[in-house]
Each structure stands twice: as C-alpha cells, then as structure tokens.
Chains A and B, each alone.
Chain A
Amino acid sequence: MDTKEKLKKILIDDLNLEELTPEDIDDNAPLFGEGLGLDSLDAVELVVIIQKHFGIEIKNMEEGRVAFQSIEALAAYIDTRMESA
C-alpha cells in the first residue's frame, strides 16, 4: 500500500470519517475547510496521528501547515521525512 492509501485509511479510522471510503478522498482536495472539512482540533490530532503511525514528529503548526495541504502534500512530506531518516 502506498503512503497515500495508508494515510486515507488512517484518517478515516482515527478521525472517525465514517461516512467516507478511501476512494471518496481526492488526493489534491484541501484537508481543511472546504474539502474534507477538518478544523483546528483535527490539525493538532493529525500531528499526533503522524507521530503515532509514521514515527515522524511535526514540531509545530508552521511546519504542519505546508504538509497538511492535501493527501498528496502530506504523503510527499512523510515520504521525504522517511527517506531522510
């Protein structure tokens, strides 16, 4: 499973997006606001989710903001961090 697929499954499970399937989530749709509809509390939860499932620490929200644009962006961020580790 590639990082994007894995991410979608994790988000659905951990953020309780029960009404969605991985296929419903567009790789390039924004995660916050319109799009997936996540908010500020989900943003801090996402930091913990990435830490827990990928062992990657996002130190602050400035760093998170770039990574949290979309599934595409987040998967790219995770892959880069995994390679450099």
Chain B
Amino acid sequence: MQIAIQGIGVVGGFGTGVTEMRQALLTGTSNRATLDLSNCGTPLNIPAFRANISRLTDYVPLKALRRVDNFSKLALLGAYLALEDAGVLAEGKQERLGVVIASGYGATGITFAFLDSFINDGDICASPTYFANSVHNSAAAYISIMLGATGPSSTVSQFHHSVPSALQTAWLWLAEGRVDRVLFGAVEELSELIGYAWYRQRGTAHKPEMTPLLTGVESAIPGEGAAFLLLTRKEEAQDGYCLLDRVTTGRLLKPGFLSSPQDLLVLGADGRIEKGGDYAQLAEKSTVACFTALYGSMPCGPALDIAIAALMLKEGKTFASPGGGICDFPASVAAGGNILESHRVSCLSLSDEDCFGLVSLAKG
C-alpha cells in the first residue's frame, strides 16, 4: 500500500506555512532569534530558531485558546495549516480522521510551570490546569477536540526517533482501514528547561551558521517548530504532494542497508557532533541534501525534512542545502534549482538510542 501526502503545515525559524518555507529554501536563509535563559541563573540568551504562533488566531478564536499552552498552540497551528493546505478545512467534523503526534521532548514549558506552581506555593497550590496540559497527549487532545476528530489518537515520544516511529503508526492505521485520513504532526518547543540543558551541555560558543555536513564540527543551534502532514490512502488521494512509499524503522542500521543508492538522501544531521559520524558512514557515496540549518536542531526535525522532500517531489526540482552544502565525507551534495532526477527521495534520521528511520517518498 502507498500513502499520499495531501497537505503540509509547517512553522519554524523559516516562517509559517509552505510558502514561507519554500522562500527560505530558495534563499537558503532563515531567521535566527534567541532563547532567554535569564531566569535560569544564567544571565544570557542563546541563539535559537524560534517559531511564531501568531497566525493561530486566524483559525481559532482567542477564547478557545485561553488554557492552551505554547506547545499545543504550536501543534494546533501546524494542524490547521496542513488542513488548509489540503483544502479540507471547510469540511467540518472529521469523523474518520486519526491524529498522530510525535515529539521528542513534549510540553516542557508547561511541565516546568506546573512544577513552579507547587514549588512556589506549596503542594496544595499545584495547578490542575497546568498538570492537565503537561500530559503528553494534550496537544493531540486539543487537535481532536477542535477538529471534531473522533478517530484514534496517538502520541509518541522518544527523542530523535519520535517522527519515523510515529509515522509508522499512521501508516498502519491507513493500511488497516481504521481511518480514512491521518493528521500526522511533529512538534517541539524551546522552553527554559530545554535551553538550560542545551547551554550546560554545549556551552555558548556557537558557530555563526550550522554546517551539518561537516560532521567533525559541532555547529548545532537549537530550534523549535511543527510539521504536519495530512495523509490518505493513494486510492483516495486528490492532487497532493507525493506518495509516502515506505517507512522503515529499527535499530542498529548497518552501512549498505540503504537499498536504493540512486535516490536523493535527505540527512537529518543537525550539527550535533556526536551523531555526525554516523550519518557520514551511512551516506557515503550517496547523493545527499541537508536542511537542518533552516530550522535548527530539534528531535522533530525529520518531519520538516519530509515536508521539504515532498515539496521537491511536487515541484520536480531540488533545493540547495543551506550554507552551500559544505561536506567533509565522500558524498555528492545535490545542487539547488536542478530538475529532480531521482523518482524517490528518502529521509534518514538517527537517534541517540541507535534507532534509525528511513522514510521514502516517491513522485505521485
């Protein structure tokens, strides 16, 4: 069975929506902002790719968002953008829609706020609203409630393996006929907690730009954002982006596993030095691209790679890897603006737990 990508909703350092993402891909630049850590005993900002959620009120009245936390707002914005992009926003209740959410860290901002509520005022003053929002599936719940999606809902959380793992669930739901559509989304927020951990682990000496294909160099800049895909079975698809041909996940991937070396390979390498070598080893001799420098290092990044790959397949053209694609291992980096010669594009992501995800997309 094959699955079709019908709509894409993205938000991140590059902007909001497919049009702004496309523009960033063409120019190779993205907005770098900062994350304020002054409440963490570290009077400083660190550079970061931030997401702007201001457009959410185009879709949801402010009143309905009054207790929705930042993480769920990011998710809701991604969800509405994907439905709008697919042209199904006006359809009303989505009874045969499943919702699958992937997040490496979850709603750490509101989790921290919940802890603050009883650290500051005692256990008896713990906020039940913050607690409810801190539960991992609250973003999926808000999406289901607001869209009237009464199909199944599932949230997956396992750091950099969350996206391919969750996408496999979306695939199986469609293959087994449990739903007619799946709204698949990946979400990451930069909270003080994540920022502090980043600062403690990697310090403040940031490179001016991410160079993720220089695998011997630490150049990661943290990012946040969301990437949502509206998926349906190929047979029921209308004009969309491309097909989701295969999702393969597992552990302990060995070099040579990548079965179609002629496919363009989008690497999830994100400037973290500890993973660079693994990508280099697996991608040797392939034609590669890498887009993390547009949105930053974040566990849900592989979903943005899928969105970018889908856009390439739809347009039949390649986008240049930002930063000129300087590469220090024997692979050929695809140039931008060319006709996409391969029929398929595969996105590879590797996690710290030795898990891999290979998501192969094909022309529709």
Indicate the member of A19, A37, A45 with the most B CB atoms within 10 Å. A45
A44–B126 CA distance with the chains assembled, in angstroms: 11
Q: Nearest-CB distance from A39 to chain B (Å)?
A: 10
Query: By the criterion CB–CB under 8 Å, are B129 and A18 in contact?
Result: no
Please state if A19 and B124 are interface contacts (CB–CB under 8 Å): no
B128 at the interface (CB under 8 A from A): yes
Say yes or no: B67 contacts A41, CB within 8 Å.
Answer: yes
Q: How far is the CA of A44 from the CA of B66 in the complex (A)?
A: 16
List the B residue with the shortest CB-CB distance to A37: B63
A16 contacts which chain B residues (CB < 8 A)? Answer: 66-67
Interface mask (B65-93 → A, CB under 8 Å = 1, otherwise 0): 01100000000000000000000000000
Whether B119 sits at the interface, judged by CB under 8 Å, is: no
Which residues on A sit within 8 Å (CB–CB) of B67?
Answer: 15-16, 41
A18 touches B66 (CB 8 A): yes
Least CB distance, B70 to chain A, in whole angstroms: 12
A65 within 8 A of B: no
A15 CB contact (under 8 Å) in B62, B66, B121:
B66
Q: Are A48 and B128 in contact (CB under 8 A)?
A: yes
Inter-chain CA distance A68–B132, complex, in Å, is: 21
* A69 interface hit (Cβ, 8 Å): no
Provide the bound-state CA to CA distance between A41 and B132, in Å: 9
Interface residue from A17, A44, A57 paired with B128 (Cβ < 8 Å): A44
Interface presence of B127 (CB below 8 A): yes
B197 within 8 A of A: no
Does A45 lie within 8 Å of B66, measured CB to CB? no
Is B125 an interface residue when CB atoms closer than 8 A count as contact? yes
Main secondary structure of the interface of B (DSSP, over half): helix
Q: Would A41 and B129 count as touching, CB distance under 8 A?
A: yes
- How many angstroms between the C-alpha atoms of A19 and B66 in the bound complex? 9
Among B63, B124, B127, B128: residue with most chain A CB under 10 A? B128
Pair A19/B128 contact, Cβ less than 8 Å: no
How far is it, in angstroms, between the C-alpha of A51 and the C-alpha of B125 when the chains are bound? 7
Query: How many whole Å from B137's CB to the nearest CB in chain A?
Result: 16
CB-defined contacts of B125 to chain A, threshold 8 Å: 48, 51-52
Chain A: which residue is nearest B129 at the CB level? Answer: A45
Residues of B within 8 A of A44 (CB): 128
- The answer to whether A45 and B128 touch across the interface, beta carbons within 8 angstroms, is yes
CA distance A57 to B124 in the complex (A): 9
Cα distance, A42 to B126, chains bound together (Å): 13
Residue of A nearest to B133 (CB): A41
- Least Cβ–Cβ distance between B56 and chain A, in angstroms: 14
Q: How far is the CB of B109 from chain A (nearest CB, A)?
A: 15
B interface residues, Cβ below 8 angstroms from A: 62-63, 66-67, 117, 121, 124-129, 132
A interface residue numbers (CB < 8 A to B):
15-19, 37, 41-42, 44-45, 48, 51-52, 57
Task: Give 7 new A-B contacts, CB below 8 A, not counting A41-B67, A41-B132, A42-B129.
Answer: A15-B67, A19-B63, A41-B129, A48-B124, A48-B128, A51-B125, A52-B121
Which 9 residue pairs spanning A and B have beta carbons closest together?
A16-B66, A44-B128, A52-B125, A45-B129, A52-B121, A48-B125, A45-B128, A19-B63, A51-B125
30 intermolecular pairs with C-beta atoms under 8 Å apart: A15-B66, A15-B67, A16-B66, A16-B67, A17-B66, A18-B62, A18-B66, A19-B62, A19-B63, A37-B63, A41-B67, A41-B128, A41-B129, A41-B132, A42-B129, A44-B128, A45-B127, A45-B128, A45-B129, A48-B117, A48-B124, A48-B125, A48-B126, A48-B127, A48-B128, A51-B124, A51-B125, A52-B121, A52-B125, A57-B124
